[in-house]
Structures are given as structure tokens and as C-alpha cells.
Structure 1
Amino acid sequence: MNQLNVAKFGGTSVADYDAMQRCADIIVNNPDTRVVVVSASAGVTNYLVQLAQGNLTAEQQDKIIQAICDIEYAVIGRLKQPADVLTALDNLIHEMSAIARNEQLSESLKLKDALLSFGERMSSLLFAELLRQRGVQAVNFDIRQVLKTDSTFSQAQPDIQATRRQAQTLMKPELSRSVFVTQGFIGSDSENATTTLGRGGSDYTAALLAEALDAETLHIWTDVTGIFTTDPRVASSARPIPEISFDEAAEMATFGAKILHPATLIPAIRSGSKVFVGSSRAANDGGTWISRETQERPAYRAIALRRDQVLLTLKSPNMLHATGFLADVFGILAKYKISVDLITTSEISVALTIDEPQNGTRKTLSSELLAELGEICDVKVEQGLSLIAVIGNRLQSVNGVGGKILSAMDSYNLRMICHGASPNNLCFLVYAEDAERIVENLHQKLFE
């Protein structure tokens, strides 16, 4: 083991037996990979989210549980000695089913997190066995022993120091002897209750482990060959980016590029670990390296699209020539652990954007939050919006940047524009039905 590497495989990379075999090839071909973080097999988390709503009939529950079983047992059926892991999988399915049928599920974020953990736990069980059958000394390791968090269920925040202590004690001494296969997305609090880091948190888990174990590199394997100038499904002319800086990649992740979880790069920036993003389907086709410095820093690097946005407009005449209103607003938002992306202000109002994912288990704008804001101002909520961000370098000083970008949108209504806070992005809020056409127009203007 010359340079410790942590590898993370996403849901499509471990979707079935054949996909897992491709991941096993990657691990076998790189002996420096000693820690493997897996997501739930593609589709499983969506099923678990449906179960976690807690408002299904017994028949509907049975149908979803059977769909999960079909995915997991299909892998078991192709292993050489399935009996070795069949009992363990049966136990996980039984435990998962019991939580899914718990009458308290719909009201308990704690139970929801426990339920959502099973996708990753089943993936790691099966993938560790597949590696062993390929001759790799692999162990299925419960990440909840290491990744310690607070008790904010569904959006837990990691305890960096406690996680490092646990990783150095429980994992580091054994890495020369075994490959640790473990779960992304989940952790545990001080009472050992299961927590989750939010949707897409497997990338974040891998980055936290790379930091805690002093890894040289972090490889994130997904279903596309690296980071593109925009989503290829939106603009067919999108092209891969060979290298990108931490700053640029962080902006892309924050503003919607699904290739990375927004928090993934924070541990990498702290530790200096280089990050590689590639496709498990085409491991030899290259990908994107993310590091502190890059050879080139073009004005325009990429375009990111973030869907499911809510615009919250807070209006109060008391803002006029007054102090403290914004402090009151953000105090309330902090109380409900609301993260704000964009913000603009006028003399008597403030507008801000908030993520409200449709498949989330936790409603961001709760009635309690809106009622408390309503005590100090008029509140207006607008949905059906998307956020588009042009990512680049020195955007504040590039001549004509505003005109070039806005000319691509002259046929569409813009709900909000933010520019100036960062030299790496220019952001605007648009109606969801226009978003993809705007991205296509922008990509043609800036990159073609």
C-alpha cells in the first residue's frame, strides 16, 4: 500500500451483479484501494423513501418490499456460495420490513433514517462477498461505528474529530490486511441511533473517510466519465472536463451538478486529497481530476442546473431605515436548520432561495417555520423554479460577461439574479419549464 485510496461507487455502479463485477475489476486493478464506500443499489433508496412516508396500505408496503427483495436477491442468486450471506440478507430484510410497518414511522425522522439505511447496508453485504469470491480479503464494515454525527435526523452533521478518532482506531491498523467495504450516507449519533447525511451523502461519507484516514486520493465512480461542461442529458454537446479546481467543483456541486454531493469537497479541501471522478462502466476512459491548482483557469468552465427550488420573499415596512430585521430572519431560519442558497434585498423586502427536493423525507418549509416568519413580515412562497449557475473564473472582471450570458435568455423571464459575491459564479432563478432550454442556449453561447 503506497498511496491509500478511498473509492466510492454510486447506485448505478452497484445496481446489479454485473455492475458490481465491474466495480470489483477496478478494485482488483488498484491495490492502493483499501476502503470502498457503496451506495444503495439503483432504485432501492427511492423505494425506501416511498416506504418512509408511512402512509401506505399493507398491500402497497408489501409490493415495495418485494421490489427491493427482487433487486437484492437477484445478486445473491449469482454468487457462488449464496448461503454464506443469505441469512444476513434475510435478517436485514426482516428488520427493514418491521420498521416499514411501524405505526410511528410517518411522524418519526429517527425511524425514517433507520429505514433509509438498509439500502447501503445490503449493498455492502453483497459487494464484500463478491470481492471475497474474487480473491480479495474484504470485510463488510459497519460505518456507524466510525462516522459519528449529531442527532439531526435526515440531515445529520458529522463530528469530524470523533470520526477521525474512530477511523484511526478501528480501520487504519487493519488496512494493510483487508479491504474495508462500508456504507455511504449513514452514520450514528452519541446514542448510537442511525442517522443519515441527506440524499447523495455517500460521496460525503467517502470524503470524510479519506480525510480521517489521511488518504492520498479519493475516487468517485459513477455512471458518467467525469464532470462535463453541463449535464449531457440537457445539452447533447456537453463535453468532459479533464481537470477542475476545488473552487470550481465546489460551486458546481453547490449549484446542482449531480455528479458530486455539495459537501464532498470540504474534507478534500481541508486534507488536500486529490479527487478523481470517473465511470465504473468505462474505467479506462479517463475522467476528471479535482485539485487545488489546475493548469488552466478559463473564464467559463461549466453550467450547473439545480431543480426543485423555492423562492421565499419576506416583506416588511419595518425594514425601511431599520436595523436587525435580517438578523431576526436568519435567526429563525437557523432555528429550523434552513440553508439558503441565493439572497437579494431591497429597502423593504428580502428574497432567498431554498432547496425543496420532491423526494425528500423532510419538508424544508414547515408550517411552523412559515408561521414564525409571518409574525415579523409578510411571507410569499413561490415554487416551480430552477436555479442555473454559470461557473468559471474571474467572472467579476471578464468584459461583457453579463451581456453574453443574459443574451442567451432574452426570450425568457428571470425571477432572480445573483452576481458579485463570488468570482466563480453567476446565478439566476428561472421558471422550471424554461430551465433546460436556457441551459442549452447558454452552453451554445459559451462553449460551442
Structure 2
Amino acid sequence: MSRKVSSTITPYFVLKFGGSSVARPRGWKQIARAARAHAGRGEHPVIVCSALGGVTDHLEALIAAAEAGDTPTAALQGIWQQHVSLARELGLDADAVLGERLAELTELATAENHGPAWRARIFAMGELMSTTLGAAYLRHRGIEARWVDARQLLCAETDPAANEAQRYLSARCDHSRDPDVAAHLERESAAVTITQGFIARNDAGETVLLGRGGSDTSAAYLAARLGARRLEIWTDVPGLFTIDPRRTDRSRLIPRVTYDEAAVLGALGAKVLHPRCLEPVREHGIPLAIRWTSRPELEGTVIGDGDDNRPGIKAVTSRSKLCLVSMERDREWQPVGFMAEVATCFHQHGLSMDLISSSPSEIRATIDLGANPGAEALLPGLLKDLKSFCRPTLHQDLTCVSVAGSEIGAELPRIAAIMHLLGEPRIHLASHAADDTHVSYVVDERLGQDLAVAIHEALFCATDSVPLGPTWDELHQAPPSSVHRIPGSAVKGRSISA
């Protein structure tokens, strides 16, 4: 496929492919099919890719070895062998395509400065290598694809309150529409653009990362800045489910959710999608579809506002890596300023209170350690300063189990009855969200997963309060003709095994 792109090419479609998709030849074949289909309709697909699945683990091992003063030979070999193996399966010469990238990574690995800026550059190499290899593959398949550095498209916003780790490892970018971004892509004169997720630049031109869920967020930023018609997140699951399918094969596909519901599910542990990626598309009214790389004929989950979205319980979620700070002081009726003192102390230490429960003599607040880089290192200082006005206690190794959706208040009696039937496990904190999107229970980590599955069984296996799709088990057993396809799909009727 070779096609000269005019300066007025529209519309843009942004397609993000995760690590599991780009780590296998089957995933790249689907990327190529999608690119051809969009370009053939006169659309400009922007392919956003994560690092190959497993490479981030190698990069973390490389960082650990370098910081310990060891030579990270094993990690470098693991990264290189994974890319060599994939390149061979794609019919490419890894040395010719990625030799310069490996040399750059090797040089970074031997640098003496091991701060957050160095870590950001190391982690960025995963996406830089995967997209360099992917661009070569697409051109090898006859697709006019142009590799573009995401750091030329996305610039991080300056946050004076952020610490160094947050500035380099969990940055945020402006997502207002910007004609200059489209103009930059059009100057490349290619039918297809391939770029990186997870990375951007700061005002000084340094590499920064977008934190957990950064590749999804990158794609959303680009969709917003381009004014894209649609954002598609291609992954190794068919969409959002009523519970993590790894916990039970009775988990059911959720066909449609609103932006707000999807944001809540992501914030509460639905790992398919990170909530930070929703704000840009919601603000610009861009539909977001979660697609299954292994079965591209399936519709999956579509996120957007519309009259066909019915309120009610949509899912049971769980997330670990939480801690809870209990802050007590002598009982006083309607104390003035206690919450303000606590909030100020958290703010001064750059920590966010996740869930909160309060009484006149005690405030409890959770901290999501997984969502806040460097948060664990800040806890000793927080506890020290809290002691000036209360008695803090740190509880660790906790999990939050949430029942999420919209208008949850109407379902509280049913949820309470289920908790009673389950024996009322010890709960460190219970929270009913002020926006009525979830009720959450913080429990010991060892109880979390079993509690989530038990609540799900009670809520979803007897009746449907909202329209739901097939179960995880049915999706893997049913022939393609028995599941919901995308109308007019270019691959309709074709079965690709999961």
C-alpha cells in the first residue's frame, strides 16, 4: 500500500496496542490489518504502542542492578533476545533495525547518575524499541508508515507541587486540541503514523513518563489534541468485565458504560483501562472502544455518554498495594480544624488521601501506593508530622474491594444484605462515594480477592440489573457467529483463536 497523503487528510483514528499485543507476531498482523483498513477508507490511523510485554520487567531489573553497582548484563541480554526473537518471526534483521537502540540503552545502563530523570530515560527505551521494530515491520508489509517520536507531540505540564519522582515518572500533559500536532503528522506525508505510549518531554526537552497507565493516557492525549473521531484501546481482553476475569470465568462483558463509570472502574482497580486516559476523550466527546486483539470482529466495550446507558451496579473491583493511616486524638464534640490539619499535612508531603472515613476522635485515610510513585518513601515523614497533633497508626498490606456503577445508593440494602450473608469480614474502612458511584470496603490483603468473588457471585449470577454481555467462559468457547460483531467489520466471519 502506497498513498500520498494530502495536507488536509482527515479524520484521525488513534489505536493503542498494549504490551501483550505488540509482543507477538499475531498482534502485529492485526496492527497491519487495522492500519490498512483505516488508510484504505481515507482515514489516518495513529498507532500508539507500549513496550513488548515483559520488557519493562527486564528494564526494572536493569535499573536495580545498576543502582546496586552491578553490571546489568543479564537484563540487557533478556531485552535484546526478546526483540531478536520477535524480529526473526516478523522477517526482520534485529541488528539492522535495533542496533542503535541497544547501544543507546547500554550507554544509559552505565551512567553514574541514577535519579528519576535517568530512570525515565531507561524505561522509555521499551517503547522506543517496540515502535522502531513495528515501523520497520509495517513498511516490510508494504504499508507507508512513519515512525514519530512522541516527545515531539506531547509536552508535560509544570506542576510546582510535584516532587522530583512525580515530575519525571508520573507527568501530565495538556490535552487541548492543537492544530500544530496534526500539522506535524501531515508534514511526515505518510498514510500511517506509529508512535510511543507512556513518554513525553518536559519544558527542558527531557524525557518524562506518564505514570501507571501511561500508554493509554498517551493515546487519549493524542486523540484529544488531534480531534480524533475515535480512540481504540486494543488489549488482550475483550473489554470491561463485571470482575477481573482472572478471578472467575463467570465474569461478564459490559457492552457500554459512561465516561464517569469507566473512570470510576479504572480508579478502583479495573486494570484494562486507566482513569487518567478518560478525561481527555470525555472533554472532547471522543468515543473510546476497548477491543480484543485476538478477536477483532468483536465489539467489546464502548465508552461514551448516551441515552442507552442504564444506571446501576456495573462491576466489582479490587486493588491492592494500599495502606491506611489511622489518626486518633481525644474525643471532642464537633472538633474544629482536625480534618484541615490532616489534609494540610498530607498535602505538604505530596500525598493524596484516597478513601476517607471520619468521626469526632478519629480520621482514617487510605493511600494508593501503586498509583503514587515514591509514596512509600514519604510515609515516615508524614507519620512524624502527624504526631504533632494526633496519634497516627500505619496499617499496611490492604486491599480495597468496591461495588461500582452509578446511583449505587439505591442498591445499598442489597449490598448490605450480601455482606451480612458473607459473615461480615473485618473491615478497616467502609466508604460510600459522595458522587454515588461506588461503595468500598478496605480489608486485609489476604481476604480481598475471595471477598470480591463472593460479592460478584451474589450480585451478578442470579439476575441482571443492567444489560450485560457473555461470560468470559462463553467468549472463549462460543464460535464467532454467536457473539456480537462490529457491523461491517472487514474481518467479519473470520475466527482468530484466543
When the two structures are superposed, what TM-score results if normalisation uses the length of structure 2? 0.82
Check 1:150–1:335 CA distance in 2 against 1; reply closer, same or farther (3 A cut): farther
1:413/1:430 contact within 8 Å kept? yes
Q: 1:152-301 alignment to 2 at 5 Å?
A: 152-161=167-176, 164=178, 166-171=180-185, 173-174=186-187, 177-301=190-314
1:34/1:175 contact within 8 Å kept? no
Partner of 2:76: 65
RMSD value over aligned CA atoms? Answer: 2.4
Partner of 1:23: 31
Residue 76 of structure 1 and its aligned partner are, at CA, apart by 2.6
Partner of 2:486: none
Residue 217 of structure 1 and its aligned partner are, at CA, apart by 0.6
1:243/1:290 contact within 8 Å kept? yes
- 1:140-175 deviations in whole A, cap 9, x for unaligned? 1111112111461111121335x836524423x348
Q: Percent identity?
A: 29
Residue 103 of structure 1 and its aligned partner are, at CA, apart by 3.3
Q: 1:393-432 alignment to 2 at 5 Å?
A: 393-398=406-411, 400-407=413-420, 409-432=422-445
**Letter aligned with residue 110 of structure 2:** R
- 1:195-223 deviations in whole A, cap 9, x for unaligned? 11112210011001100000111000000
Partner of 1:114: 121
Partner of 1:93: 102
Please list every run of 5 or more consecutive structure 1 residues that lacks an aligned counterpart in the other structure.
none
2:262/2:275 contact within 8 Å kept? no
DSSP 3-state at the match of 2:428 = strand
For 1:86 and 1:166, how far apart are their aligned partners in 2?
Answer: 35
Residue 296 of structure 1 and its aligned partner are, at CA, apart by 3.9
Deviates more, 1:389-398 or 1:112-121: 389-398
For 1:305 and 1:408, how far apart are their aligned partners in 2?
Answer: 20
DSSP 3-state at the match of 1:392 = strand
1:225/1:285 contact within 8 Å kept? yes
Residue 21 of structure 1 and its aligned partner are, at CA, apart by 2.0
DSSP 3-state at the match of 1:357 = coil
User: Does structure 1 residue 126 correspond to structure 2 residue 129?
Assistant: no
1:138/1:179 contact within 8 Å kept? yes
1:235/1:443 contact within 8 Å kept? no
Deviates more, 1:176-185 or 1:195-204: 176-185
For 2:16 and 2:418, how far apart are their aligned partners in 1?
Answer: 35
- How many residue pairs get matched? 440
For 2:440 and 2:284, how far apart are their aligned partners in 1?
Answer: 29
Residue 421 of structure 1 and its aligned partner are, at CA, apart by 0.8
Residue 249 of structure 1 and its aligned partner are, at CA, apart by 0.8
1:390/1:427 contact within 8 Å kept? yes
Residue 443 of structure 1 and its aligned partner are, at CA, apart by 1.1
**Letter aligned with residue 12 of structure 2:** L
Partner of 1:149: 156
For 2:116 and 2:387, how far apart are their aligned partners in 1?
Answer: 26
Residue 381 of structure 1 and its aligned partner are, at CA, apart by 1.4
Check 1:2–1:98 CA distance in 2 against 1; reply closer, same or farther (3 A cut): closer
- 1:18-53 deviations in whole A, cap 9, x for unaligned? 332232222223333521110000011122123233
- 1:211-269 deviations in whole A, cap 9, x for unaligned? 00001110000000111111111122001111111121111001000000121111111
Residue 57 of structure 1 and its aligned partner are, at CA, apart by 5.2
When the two structures are superposed, what TM-score results if normalisation uses the length of structure 1? 0.91
For 1:429 and 1:407, how far apart are their aligned partners in 2?
Answer: 16
